[in-house]
Amino acid sequence: MKKIVWISFGIALILVNAIAEIGEYFTGIEIHMFLRIAIIVGITMGSFVLGGASVLINTMDKEKPLAGTVRDTLGADRKKS
């Protein structure tokens, strides 16, 4: 998951700054550095959440349910001896 976050951070850093510079060149409107940083952090946090969800879903697919009877359960399905 660290790779996902670092790659998205690098891509966001390059793309946001490139888009801001190109936009400033053609329109003359400057995007302040604080707004650029906020957009980069937002994209990175979004990828962190989506990457974490993806890892959790992949982990859930690998889990196997218990087969047979379980003797050490504390729930209502435990027989009273």
Mean pLDDT for the chain overall: 83
Cα–Cα distance for residue pair 61/43, rounded to 1 Å: 27
Q: Report the range of poorest mean pLDDT among 5-9, 15-19, 56-60, 76-80.
A: 76-80
Q: What is the C-alpha to C-alpha distance for residues 48 and 2, in angstroms, rounded to an integer?
A: 9
Over residues 46-79, the pLDDT tens digits come to: 999 998 898 888 888 776 666 556 566 665 555 5
pLDDT of residue 69: 61
DSSP 24-55: HHHH-PPPPHHHHHHHHHHHHHHHHHHHHHHH
pLDDT of 81 reads 54
